[in-house]
Amino acid sequence: MKRFLTLLMVLTLSAAVLAGCSSGNDASATLNSVGTSVDGNEVAIEKASMKLVNTVNDGGYELIGTEELNTWTTEGKEMIIIDTMPADSYAKGRIPGALNAELPKTGMADVTAEQKEAFTSLLGTNKDIPVVVYCGFVACERSDVGAVIAKELGYNNVYRCPGGIIAWENAGYATEK
């Protein structure tokens, strides 16, 4: 979590520094060309970032970035990876080694007993093994649901990969089918 907040601060400060170094006279045009949003709407990026930070804080789990997860999988780190997307999405492509248990994209309130049981059955009994949960993309809440369930069940090393399979594919990492 500390790494995520540090990264968020660095990105924010970098954007401010770059905006201040611009030679343009139109401040709004300068800010729109410097931010992280392709369309210049940094408010949308900020809202998504704040929602992610709040769900992570509320859930009590950690974040793992796509690059670091790729390193873990490449090194063969012992862990449980769970894809929380529907079975048809899982079949199209997943992070190597990922298991599948669909969870609702609408949040914890909509988890059925069957979904929770299917997810729980993939966790095993070792409460100290890293558990990595992902879904489709940052705004999808399926991975938050899985991470919260794992934490509630007493797993100690729970990670959410917020960019999910879309970030994995965008990074050019191999998937398995």
pLDDT tens by residue, 86-113: 999 999 999 999 999 999 998 899 999 9
Residue 161 backbone dihedrals phi, psi, to 5 degrees: -100, 95
Domain count, the chain: 2
**Residue, of 32 and 166, whose pLDDT is higher:** 166
pLDDT tens digits for range 113-131: 999 999 999 999 999 999 9
Q: pTM score > 0.85 for this model?
A: no
Domain identity same for 64 and 85? yes
CA triplet 81, 163, 37: central angle to 5 degrees? 175
Domain identity same for 80 and 50? no
What's the DSSP call for residue 150? Answer: H
83 bridge partner residues: 100, 134
Compute the distance between CA of residue 153 and CA of residue 147 in angstroms, rounded to an integer.
Answer: 10
Residue 9 placed within a domain: yes
Compute the distance between CA of residue 100 and CA of residue 89 in angstroms, rounded to an integer.
Answer: 10
